[in-house]
Amino acid sequence: MKILDVRAASFECAFQEVLARGKMDIKNVSNIVQEILDSVQENGLAAIKAHIAQFDKWEAREFSDICITQEQCLKAYNALPLGLKSALHVAYDRIYAFHQKQKEKSWIDCEANGSLLGSKLTPMERAGLYIPGGKAAYPSSLLMNAIPAIVAGVKEIVVCSPTPNNEPHSLLLAALHLCGIKEIYKVGGASAIGLMAYGCKEVPKVDVITGPGNIFVACAKKLVFGEVNIDMIAGPSEIAIIADKDANARYVAYDLLSQAEHDEMASSILISDNLPLIESVQAHIQDILPTLSRAHIAEKSIQNRAVMIHTRSLKESIDIANALAPEHLEILCNEAFAVLPLIKHAGAIFLGQYSSEPIGDYLAGPNHTLPTGGSARFFSPLSVEHFMKRSSIIAFSAPALAEMGEACALLAQSESLQAHAQAVLTRLDSISTRDFSKERE
């Protein structure tokens, strides 16, 4: 891993490259992704089948070939070992309980003049969930995306996930059964985003697309935004760790590697004011890396995307973390809760040595679909709110219009919108002779 020292003259230039990690990635693939999306929009299922043959290395001849049935999911669920089935239910229950607390209700407020104002919350009718599956299977991502949609009350939930060599992962199938998903397609990458965003003869388009993915998926979601809503631009996984001299170097090493093994483009960043800790973590990573089953992926990530930043103080470490706005931020310091109020930008914050990032990935409860590439400055984690929309409610009474109508007309006239003004003044003429004080009695 590269070590950057804030004291070095070259630090600012090197740090700017780290900050630009998300922008550079999207730009590099946007032309390729746009071609894929255009193909899906123009050719529908024919394009999907061609992309499956090209990217997933199997041939889909009929529409039914790309579908996963509920019977397949039930069979996989029933075949799960008892311990794994229990773990899946623990995760489901904890994630459901957390997201249930997010659900808001519609409301109406009655003013003294008789007018009613409020907000009506309605679930999306049709939601599309993208579940990664190229380099590994992610049933955890299915739970994290499906459960908030279920809590929100979405009637139709569509799942797309790549299936290399046409071999669905049994645990993903089991999770699909647990979530009660009925519409499932073996389609991945930008093709899946196009299918859900534009629809085709066999598959109606969705209203919102959520879910993490590689840089091609993130770029595709960005390009279809407006055709449908999206949760965020979620690219390759990343972690930043603020650690002091008392942090356990082996814990830190494993947590950094937990992101590196996701993807060659994942980013693992350690921020510390203690050089001996940095050097110890470096040594542990070198020892651990060869033992990992996905060492070939993790090694490329560590070599090309990982960095250790040596700061002058804890305050400087915090400032750098806020500038990074990372997807996952671990605070491995003695006074972790004292640091928490100073954190401005992060997708998920893990406090203390026992709050390892993988706990958040699987069963802590909060959603693991998080903003990446610095977008935590303005995006939030996936939530129930992403699967709902608001409609404002306005019901003015005659007394309310009599009270405020002239002010409204005056504002409209100031913008030279005569019909706006007259729409209000015409109503005022019809109610000007009414005695509202008697009506209130």
For the chain, the average pLDDT equals 94
Chain segment 96-137, per-residue pLDDT in tens? 999 999 999 999 999 999 999 999 999 999 999 999 986 677
What's residue 9's pLDDT? 96
Q: How confident is the model over 296-319, as a mean pLDDT?
A: 97
Chain segment 372-402, per-residue pLDDT in tens? 989 999 999 999 999 999 999 999 999 999 9
Tell me the catalytic residues. Answer: 327-328
Chain segment 35-78, per-residue pLDDT in tens? 999 999 999 999 999 999 999 999 999 999 999 999 999 999 99
Name the 3-class secondary structure at 109: strand
- When pLDDT is cut at 50, 70 and 90, the band that residue 434 belongs to is low
What's residue 110's pLDDT? 96
Strands (DSSP E) found in 166-228 = 183-185, 208-210
pLDDT at 151 over 80: yes
What the block records as the tokens of 7 is 């004291």
What's residue 135's pLDDT? 64
pLDDT at 429 over 70: yes
Sign of the CA dihedral running 183, 189, 190, 191: negative
Max mean pLDDT among 212-216, 328-332, 372-376 falls in 328-332
Ligand-binding annotation for 262, yes or no, is: yes
Class of domain 2-24+235-364: alpha beta
Ligand-binding annotation for 296, yes or no, is: no
At the topology level of CATH, where does 26-234+385-389 sit? Answer: Rossmann fold (3.40.50)
Q: Greater confidence, 263 or 11?
A: 11
Ligand-binding annotation for 418, yes or no, is: no
Ligand-binding annotation for 237, yes or no, is: yes
Ranges of CATH 3.40.50.1980 domains, the chain: 2-24+235-364, 26-234+385-389
Mind giving me the DSSP string for 262-287?
Answer: T-TT-EEEEEES-HHHHHHHHHHHHH
What's residue 214's pLDDT? 83
CA 126, CA 149: separation in Å to the nearest integer?
10
Ligand-binding annotation for 356, yes or no, is: no
